[in-house]
Amino acid sequence: MKRLILLTLALLLVSSTAIAQPPVGYIGLFIDESHTTSCVTGVGFYPVEMWIWCLPSYAGQICAEFMIAYPPNVIQSTTTPNTAIISVTLGDLPSGMSVCYISCQWDWHWPFHQLLYVTDPTPTEVNIVKHPDPSILCVQFANCEPGYPTECATVYTKLLINQECPPEDPISTEKVSWGAIKGLYKR
């Protein structure tokens, strides 16, 4: 009986992990290590640390191919690769990056972060775009299935500069008590 309970718990744990993975991979630009904020406003000439974060699909991620498009009021500075997970890189962020990892990634991870300098108060944005190689059709990840097939990734966030941040929960509902909800059905 104990063995059956442990097996059931193990299956629930594995299935809940699989359910938590999205059907497509995501890539986004953030200004923090916790990948929660994707906008920045400052005064005058100011620095920004930009983080590139990826969330693999349910099939995992072993590589990524993309490019970063910078506006004229942003100066690029030091790029820091995540050497703990990266096995090889080809290219660079402004002209097209191909990056592969030592092992498959199954959760949020950052391949790079980069120091940027904003030169003026003009509202602009830094974007993730497809790699310029003509054979690459989208921002893409190679997943961890046999043969490492590529799949288009969804660009989750861009880096908004000198702009109002979007709401944290754009599809929110009004917070009400359970009594208020039950009251809707008494009418």
Fold of 23-163: Immunoglobulin-like (2.60.40)
CA 88 to each of CA 82, 91, 97, 110, 119: distance values in angstroms, whole numbers, following the listed order = 11, 10, 11, 14, 32
Considering only CA atoms, which of 28, 64, 29, 27 is closest in space to residue 144?
64
Q: What's the confidence (pLDDT) of residue 2?
A: 52
What's the pLDDT tens digit per position in 124-142? 999 999 999 999 999 999 9
pTM attached to this predicted model: 0.78
- What does the domain layout of the chain look like in residue ranges? 23-163
Read off the pLDDT of residues 33-72 as tens digits, 9 standing for 90 and up.
999 999 999 999 999 999 999 999 999 999 999 999 999 9
Q: Which of 64, 69, 62, 86 is nearest to 144 (CA)?
A: 62
Among the listed residues 82, 47, 43, the one whose alpha carbon sits nearest the alpha carbon of residue 64: 82
